[in-house]
Structure 1
Amino acid sequence: MFLTIAAQRSPAFDVPSDLGYLLHKHPDRVQSFDVYGGMAQVFYPEVTAERCTVALLLEVDPVALVRGRSGARDGFALGQYINDRPYVASSLLAVAMGKVFRSALGGRCPGHEDLVDRAVDLEMTLPAVPGDPALLQQLFSPLGWTVAATPVVLDTTRPEWGDAPFVSLTLRGTLRLTDALSHLYVLLPVLDDAKHYWVGESEVDKLIRTGGAWLATHPERDLITHRYLARQRGLKEVAIQRLVELDDRPVDDAVDDEMVTSTRPLVRARHEAVLQAVRDLQPTSVVDLGCGQGALLASLLEIGGVTTVVGTEVSDSALSTAAVRLHVDRMTERQSERLRLLLSSLMYTDDRLTGMDVAVLMEVIEHIDPERLPTVEATVFGSMRPRSVVVTTPNAEYNVRYPGLAPGAFRHTDHRFEWTRAEFAAWAASVADRHGYGVDLRTVGDVDDTVGSPTQMAVFRVRESPEEVS
C-alpha cells in the first residue's frame, strides 16, 4: 500500500520545514515502523523549496495476517494467502497512519502549535482504493476535496475483463493537515468495509474522537457510521446519538430517525436560544466565531436590522462547505455584500473583526486548551471588543443523563474541558470583570431539577457608563 501527501509552499506555510514539524518526520531520513501485519516506512521522494512530498509505504505480509487465527474452517484456504491485502488501501493503512502520524492526526505539534491551524495546499494520492468513483465523490467532496478517481483496469492484456473494483485516487484541497489525515483515517475503513480487527464499543470513541468534528454534519453520516462500525446496529445508534449532539446542521435538514428524537430538541433549543439572544441585542453586525459549516449563518442573515454577518473558521474546507450550504454562488450582489466568510483563528488578533455589535461563540470554548483560553479571551473581549458576546457550552453536570456516556467522559473527545454551572459562572464573572462587561447567565434545553440544563449560556454586554462600571 502506498500513500503520498504533497504540500505546496504558501506565504503561511514553508516546505519542507513546516511539513516536517507537523508530521514529526525529518525530510532527510527514512524511518521504519513495525505495524500490524507488516512494516511501514516513511520517506520524502520530493523535497524542494516550492513543494514537498512525504510517502508512507506499508508492506503487508498476507501470511502473517492469518497466522494464529482461530475459527477458520480451512486454515489453508488459498484466498487467505493470495489476496489484494498487500496492495489495496484498507483499514490496515489507517492503523499504520494512526501509529506513524499519531501526533499530526491528533493535532499536536509541540513548539510549533500555530502550524496546526494553518490551511495547506495539499495533494494526497493512493494508487489503489476499493470503491467506485461515485462513492468516493460522495464521501470526500463534502469535506472540501477535489476528487479525481480513475478506475483501475483489471488486466491491461485482457481488456475484455473490464475494470477491477478499485480506483486510483487523488485528492486536492486547502485544509489543515490534521483534518486531511482524519478524513483518510476514518474513510479508508469505510471504503474497505471489511476491518481486519474486532469492532467493539471502543471503536465508537475512536470514531467520535477522530471524525466527530466533520462527521456530525457530513451528508453521508449514516453510511459512514454504519460501515465504520462493521454494520453493528447497536454501536451505530450510540454513535449517531453522540454525533447528533455535535450536529450544527439546521434542524430541518436533520434526519428524523426514531433513535435521535430525544436529543434533537437540544440542537433546536441551542440554535433558537442563540438567535433569540441576538435578536434581543438588536445588532446591525454579527460575527459567528468558529462558524463551522455555517449552520447558524443563514438564520443570522434573516434577523431584522442585521446588515452584516461574518463567519470565521480555521478550516478552509469548513468555510467552503458553508459557502455551498448558503448558496453563495447564487446570491444577488446585495445579498452577498451582507455576508463574509473569513479564515481566522481566535488565537490571533484580526483587525477585520473589530467594531462588531455581537460576537457568537456557540459550543466553541470547550474545544480550546485551558492554558490557551486566556489568549482567546483577550482576542475576543479585548482586541475585538464587540458590544455584546453570546457564549454557549455544555453543562458537565448534565452528562449523567446521557446513558451512552461513560462516567467522567466528555460529550466529545475533542473537548478540552466541560464546566459545571458553578465553574462556568465563575469564568463568566471573571471575564466580565476584567474586560468591563456585564453578564447574564441563562439555561438552554430542558432543565433538570438536580443537574440543570444540558447547555449553558452567557450573554455579555459592554458597560459603557461609569455607573455600569461601578
Structure 2
Amino acid sequence: MLLTISTTHRPATDLGYLLVKHPGRLQRFETSAGPAYVGYPEAGEERCTAALVLDVDPIALTRGRHTVDDFTLGRYVNERPYAASSLLSVALGKVFRSALAGRSKDRPELAGTAIPLEVAVPVTRGTAELCERLFGPLGWTVEARRIPLDPDRPEWGDSPYVSLRLSGELTVSAALNHLYVLLPVLDDAKHYWISGEEVDKLVRAGEGWLPAHPARDLITRRYLKRKATLVHEARARLAEDIESLVDEAVTAVDEEAELPVEEARKVPLAALRREAIVGVLKEKGAAEVADLGCGGGALLVDLFAEHGFRRILGADVSTRALEIAERRLRLDRRGDLERQRISLVQTALTYADDRLKGFDAAVLMEVVEHIDPPRLPAMAYAVFGHAAPSTVVMTTPNAEYNVRFEGMAEGAMRHHDHRFEWNRAEFAAWCGEQARRYGYDVEITGVGDDDSEVGAPTQMAVFSKGGTA
C-alpha cells in the first residue's frame, strides 16, 4: 500500500519536521500487517514529498491473532496488499503519531499553520462520488479516477477501485486525521476486532471536523462496522461536540470580523457555561453537588477536577449516556478514594427520587428544554420540592438569540430534541413561579456575549434558599 504527502511550502523540507521523519533517511516500522517504510522521493526547497509504504504480508496476517472471520484477507490471493484500507490507517497512526497530534518540537508554530498539501493514494476502494462526499466538505479539492479492470480490455469496464488525489491548504495534523478516519470508511472494512476503544479513536481523530461533517452518520457507521451499540455511543458523543461547535458559532457575532485575530478567537459557549456553573457552586460554598441530566458527563469532568467538591452525583435517564460519562471520567482507572467521590445513577427527573436528596447544590445544565411542557411541574417538584438542595443552578438557551445563528431558519430550535426554547421573559416568569412556590430566591443572568438587542445566548438562573441569592 502506498500513500504520499507533498508540499510546496517554502522551505518544503519543513515537511520533515512536521512529520517528525528526516528527509535524508529511510525508516522502517513494524506493524501487525507487515513492515511500514517512510522515505522521501523528493526533498527540495520548493517541493518535498514523503511516502509511506506498507508491505502487507497476507499469509502472515491470516495466521495472526488480528484476523476476523469476515475479513477478506482470509484468502491468500486478493487485492488487500495494494488497496488502501484500515491496515494503512493503523500504519499512519503508528508512524506519524506526533504529527497526528499536531506536535512538532522543531516547528511548533508551523504545526498549527495551514500549508499547501497534496495527498495521493494510488489505489483505494470507493467511487469518485463517495470520495467527494467524504473529503470535499473538509476543504480538499478531490480528484478520483476510476481504475479499469484491464486497460487493454476497456469492454470489461471499471474495477471497484479509484486512484485518489487530494489537494488543499490544511495543517498536516488535520490532513493525517482525515486520512486516518476516512481510508477505512472508503474501504468499508476493518481487519481487526472492533471494540469500545474504536469510539475513542473516532472521536479523538474527528475532533474539530467530524461533528459538523454532512456525512457524519455514514462515516460513523462504516468506521464502526455498523455495530449498533458503538454507533449509538459515537453519535451521542459527537452530538455533544457539535453542540459545542454550534455554541462557538453563536459567539462569533457580526462584529467579530472587525476584531484582531487574538480577540476574535472565542471560548466555546459550552465551556463558558460550565465555567459559570462551577463559579457559582464555589461562590455558594457547595461541597456536595448533583448534576441532574448529566448526559455524557462534560460538567462532571469539570466538577471532578475540583477537589473542593467532596461528593458528586451524576444522574440521567439514559443508561447509555451514563456509560459514556463513566468512560469519560475514566472511573475504571481511578483509585478507591477518588472513585468514592463520585457516583452515577439512572433516574428520571420527573419522579421524586430519594437518592437526589441531601446535596448542597443541584445543576440542570441545558436539561429543562428537553422535557415536555406538561411534565415540567413534576420535574419542578422532584428538584425543588423533594430533593430541595440549598442551591439550584439552571441553564437553558435564550430563544431570542437564535436569530444570530447564520442560516438558522426562523422558528427553528437549536437541537432536534428540544421540546421548546424560552425567551427571556418566559424563562424569568417560570423561574419566578418556582421560586415563590418552593421558597427560593432566584437571580437570572446570561452566559456568553451579551447582545444589546437579544441578550446572551444562554440564560442562567441561580435559585437559593434563605434569601442568599
Of 12, 15, 25 in structure 2, the residue corresponding to residue 15 of structure 1 is 12
Asked if the contact 2:269/2:448 (under 8 Å) is kept, the reply is no
TM-score w.r.t. length of structure 1: 0.59
Deviations 1:247-297 (A, max 9, x none): 0599xxxxxxxxxxxxxxxx7xxx4xxxxxxxxxxxxxxxxxxx6xx5665
The RMSD of aligned alpha carbons is: 3.7
Question: Structure 2 CA distance, aligned partners of 1:40 and 1:229?
Answer: 24
What 5-or-longer segments of structure 1 have no aligned partner? 251-266, 272-290, 302-307, 311-339, 341-349, 367-392, 412-441, 462-470
User: Would you say the 8 A contact 1:4–1:54 is kept in 2?
Assistant: yes
Q: Is the 8 A contact 2:6 2:50 kept in 1?
A: yes
**Partner of residue 195, structure 1:** 190
Secondary structure (helix, strand or coil) at the match of 2:77 reads coil
Give, in whole Å, the separation in 2 of the partners of 1:399 and 1:216.
28
Q: Where do residues 292-371 of structure 1 align in structure 2 (5 Å cutoff)?
A: 294=249, 297=252, 300-301=253-254, 308-310=255-257, 351=260, 360-363=266-269
Which of 27, 38, 43 pairs up with 1:42? 38
Query: Does residue 113 in structure 1 map to residue 34 in structure 2?
Result: no
2:235 match: 240
Equivalent in the alignment of 1:403: 322
1:457 deviates by 7.9
Q: Distance in 1 between matches of 2:97 and 2:206?
A: 14
Q: Is the 8 A contact 1:363 1:394 kept in 2?
A: no
Structure 1: how far apart are the matches of 2:73 and 2:267?
Answer: 57
TM-score by length of 2: 0.59
Could you say which residue in structure 2 is the equivalent of 1:125? 120
Shift of the alpha carbon at 1:21?
A: 1.3
Q: Residues 158 and 21 of structure 1: is their aligned pair in 2 closer, same or farther, counting only changes over 3 Å? A: same
- Shift in CA distance, 295/134, structure 1 to aligned 2, threshold 3 Å: farther
1:325-364 residue CA offsets vs partner (Å, 9 max, x unmatched): xxxxxxxxxxxxxxx7xxxxxxxxx95667x8xx742158
**Relative to 1, partners in 2 of residues 1:363 and 1:410: Cα closer, same or farther, differing over 3 Å?**
farther
Unaligned 5+ residue runs, structure 2? 273-297, 304-311, 316-320, 331-362, 369-382, 384-388, 397-444, 451-469
> Where in structure 2 are the equivalents of 1:440-455 lying within 5 Å?
445-446=366-367
Q: Who wins on radius of gyration, i.e. which is larger?
A: 2
Q: How do residues 201-220 of structure 1 correspond to structure 2 at under 5 angstroms? A: 201-220=196-215
SS of equivalent to 1:409: helix
C-alpha separation in 1, matches of 2:173 and 2:75: 34
Structure 1 70/199 Cα, relative in aligned 2: closer, same or farther at 3 Å?
closer
* Deviation (angstroms), 1:460: 8.9
**Counterpart for residue 5 of structure 1:** 5
Q: CA offsets per residue over residues 355-410 of structure 1, 9 Å max, x none?
A: x8xx74215879xxxxxxxxxxxxxxxxxxxxxxxxxx956238944413254736
C-alpha spacing 1:454/1:149, structure 2 compared with 1 (3 Å): farther
Paired residues for 1:30-429 under 5 Å? 30-68=26-64, 80-248=75-243, 271=247, 294=249, 297=252, 300-301=253-254, 308-310=255-257, 351=260, 360-363=266-269, 394=299, 396-397=302-303, 400-401=314-315, 402-407=321-326, 409=328
The Cα of 1:9 is off from its aligned counterpart by: 1.7
Alpha-carbon deviations, 1:10-34, whole Å to 9, x = none? 4xxx320x21111110000000111
2-structure distance, mates of 1:172, 1:116: 18
Q: In 2, distance between residues paired with 1:460 and 1:170?
A: 42
Q: Shift of the alpha carbon at 1:445?
A: 2.0
> Does the Cα contact within 8 Å between 1:217 and 1:248 map onto a contact in 2?
no
Structure 1 residues 399, 205: closer, same or farther in 2, change over 3 A? farther
Give 2:63's aligned amino acid. R
Match of 2:371 in 1: none
In structure 2, the residue corresponding to 1:361 is in which secondary structure?
coil
SS at match of 2:55: strand
The one-letter amino acid paired with 2:267 is: L
**Cα distance between partner residues in 2 of 1:45 and 1:36:** 25
Question: Percent of counterpart pairs with the same letter?
Answer: 46
Q: Is the 8 A contact 2:116 2:170 kept in 1?
A: yes
* Shift of residue 233, structure 1, vs aligned partner: 1.1
Deviates more, 1:187-196 or 1:112-121: 112-121
Cα distance, 1:115 vs structure 2? 2.0
CA-to-partner distance for each residue in 1:296-328, whole Å, 9 max, x for gaps? 65xx34xxxxxx342xxxxxxxxxxxxxxxxxx
- The 3 A distance-change label for structure 1 pair 113 and 353 is closer
Q: For residues 28 and 363 of structure 1, do their structure 2 counterparts lie closer, same or farther at Cα, with a shift above 3 Å needed?
A: farther
Alpha-carbon shift at residue 109 of structure 1 (Å) = 1.7
Counterpart CA distance in 2 for 1:72 and 1:92 is 13
Query: Match for 1:405: what amino acid?
Result: I
Shift of the 33–152 alpha-carbon distance from structure 1 to 2, 3 Å rule, reads: same
Query: In 1, distance between residues paired with 2:329 and 2:313?
Result: 8
Does structure 1 conserve the Cα–Cα contact (< 8 Å) formed by 2:83 and 2:125?
A: yes
In 1, Cα distance between equivalents of 2:313 and 2:162 = 44
Aligned pair count reads 312
